Amino acid sequence: MNFKYMRIQGRENSWVTGYPKGIFSICHRLIMDNKMSKSDAELFLAIDKWFVDNLPEPEPCKNGEKVITFFKTDSTAEMQKKIEPAMELLNKYAHPYDVVYTDFIGTIIYEDKWQAAVRVEDGKMI
């Protein structure tokens, strides 16, 4: 079965959105909490840089709005290869996460070739 969207998220909620944190937030938190080794932090920051350099940042994210993003599965083969090392870091540091595949993400407020963003209120997609 094919799904339209994919998100890698932790099991703890973001204090901003009330929705489970995404993989980038989780890895940045591990770095800020000094739980990642220097070489692992450098690896993640290189991954993060690739995404910043190669994907547009959704305007709602730039504006600090309460949104979450999903990758579009029909255009994410390259991105999945790029994000796998970050998933391996979560495994290495025993940080639980889920890979969520779905067709239902709420009302899309931003969309490009690779990703879609939806607004979140009280921990729920709207």
pLDDT in tens, 37-96: 999 999 999 999 999 998 888 888 888 889 999 999 988 788 889 999 999 999 999 999
Question: 28, 125 in Cβ contact below 8 A?
Answer: no
DSSP-derived secondary structure letter, 120:
E
Percent of the chain residues past pLDDT 90, beyond the cut: 71
Q: What pLDDT does 77 receive?
A: 80
What's the pLDDT score for residue 108?
A: 94
Q: Quick check: 70 and 3 in contact, CB under 8 A?
A: no
Domain residues for 84?
Answer: 5-125
Indicate if the pLDDT at residue 106 is higher than 80.
yes
Give the position of tokens 């879609």.
Answer: 116
Residue 115 pairs with which residues in a beta bridge?
71
Confidence of residue 97 (pLDDT cuts 50, 70, 90): very high
* Nearest-angstrom CA–CA distance, 48 and 28: 9
23 pLDDT band, cuts 50/70/90, is very high
| Residues 13/21, Cβ–Cβ less than 8 Å | yes
Per-residue confidence (pLDDT) for residue 90, from 0 to 100:
98
pLDDT band at 6 (very low <50, low <70, confident <90, very high): very high
Mean of per-residue pLDDT scores for the chain: 92
Flag whether pLDDT at 117 surpasses 90: yes
DSSP character for 102?
A: E
How many distinct structural domains can be found in the chain? 1
Distance CA(73)–CA(63), nearest Å, equals 25
Could you give the percent of the chain with pLDDT greater than 70? 100
Q: HSE, CB side, 13 Å, CA atoms: give it for residue 78.
A: 8
